[in-house]
Amino acid sequence: MKLNLNIQPLSTWISSDKQPLVIGGPCSAETEDQLVATAHLLAKTGKITALRAGIWKPRTRPGEFEGIGSIGLKWLDRAKQETGLPTAVEVATAKHVEEALAAGVDILWVGARSTANPFTVQEIADALKGVDVPVMVKNPVNPDLSLWIGALERINNAGITKLAGIHRGFSSYEKSAFRNEPMWDMAIALKTHVPELPIINDPSHICGNRDLIPYIAQKALDMDMQGLMIESHIDPSVAWTDAKQQLTPAALADLIDRLTLRKPET
Ligand code: PEP
Ligand code: MN
C-alpha cells in the first residue's frame, strides 16, 4: 500500500554535487578541538556533503558518556563557519529540537531508540510545527516497519516535507558479524510504501566494526540508496563512543574513492 506523504526531493535540501552523498563526522562531539579538527580534515577531502555529530547520546546503559550537551552546538557552529559544511544532529526531546534550531543546525535526525517510541516522536514532531528544517528518521532498533513509517508520518504531519529515512540496521537476538542486522528487506518495504522517500544508509551502526563498512556501503549504493552516513573521528582509537566503527577522515575518503556508483539507466 502506497502512503500519501508529502515529501520534497533530497536535492531541495542537501547539495547533490558530490556523488555518493556522504554525511560524515564523529559519533559524538567530545571536545572543541576534536570536532573542529575532524571537520577540517573531512572538508579537506572534498568528499563530504554534511557534518554529523552526536551532542546528546542515547546510551543503552547508564554510567557512560551521554554526550557533551548544549556546549557542543557552539563547537558545531564553529566547524560549520570554518568549513562551510552544513551540520546534522540527533534530537530526542523537544528541548533538543529548540536548542539545535536556535544554534543554527541545518539537519536534524531522530535516533533509532527514539523512533521506537511514538510518544517521543510525537514530542519531537510537535516541536517542529511551523519550522522548515530537514529531518531524517532512523529505523527503530527493532525490525518493526510500522514504527518506522509511523514516525515518518508523525513528522510529516507536523509539516516537515524535507524528510528522509536512515537505514541503520536492527537489533537481533542472534549472534552475527553485524552489530545490527541490515535486514535489507525492511528498507525495500519502506521504499515500496513511500517510493518518494530518500533513504540514506548508515553502515557504521549496521557494522559496528570498521572492517565491514565498505561491503555494506557498496551494497547500499547498489540498491540505489541515496546517500551514506558514516562516522569519522580524527583518532578513532581514543573515541569516547563507537570507537571500533569510526574511520579516520583519510580512511573515509579512501572508502568513498573505492565505492562504485550504479550507472544511470539509459
Ligand atoms: C548515532 O548515530 O551515533 C546513534 C546513536 O545511532 P543509532 O540511533 O542508529 O543507534
Ligand atoms: Mn554512533
Instruction: For each of the domains in the chain, give its residue range(s) and CATH number, in order of start.
Output: 19-258 (3.20.20.70)
Q: What's the rounded Cα separation, in Å, for the pair 102 and 100?
A: 5
**pLDDT recorded at residue 159:** 98
Q: pLDDT averaged over consecutive 10-residue blocks of the chain (266 residues)? A: 91 91 98 98 98 96 96 98 98 98 98 98 98 98 98 98 98 94 98 97 98 98 97 98 98 97 73
**pLDDT recorded at residue 266:** 64
Contact criterion met (CB below 8 Å) for 234 and 35: no
Contact criterion met (CB below 8 Å) for 103 and 76: yes
Contact criterion met (CB below 8 Å) for 1 and 209: no
Ligand 1 centre and the CA of 32: distance in Å? 21
Phi then psi for residue 17, to 5 deg, are -75, -20
**pLDDT recorded at residue 265:** 67
Q: What's the rounded Cα separation, in Å, for the pair 113 and 105?
A: 21
Q: How many C-beta atoms surround the C-beta of residue 222 within 10 A?
A: 12
What the block records as the C-alpha cell of 261 is 556508483
Ligand 1 centre and the CA of 51: distance in Å? 15
**pLDDT recorded at residue 171:** 96
The minimum-distance atom of ligand 1 relative to the CA of 242 is 3
CA angle 137, 139, 140 (to 5 degrees): 115
Contact criterion met (CB below 8 Å) for 199 and 243: no
**Nearest-CA neighbor of 96 among 58, 62, 149?**
58
The minimum-distance atom of ligand 1 relative to the CA of 229 is 2
The minimum-distance atom of ligand 1 relative to the CA of 114 is 8
**pLDDT recorded at residue 262:** 78
What the block records as the C-alpha cell of 10 is 533530497
Residues with CB under 5 A from ligand 2 (ion): 27, 242
**Nearest-CA neighbor of 170 among 143, 199, 200, 137?**
143
Ligand 2 centre and the CA of 13: distance in Å? 24
What's the ipTM?
0.99
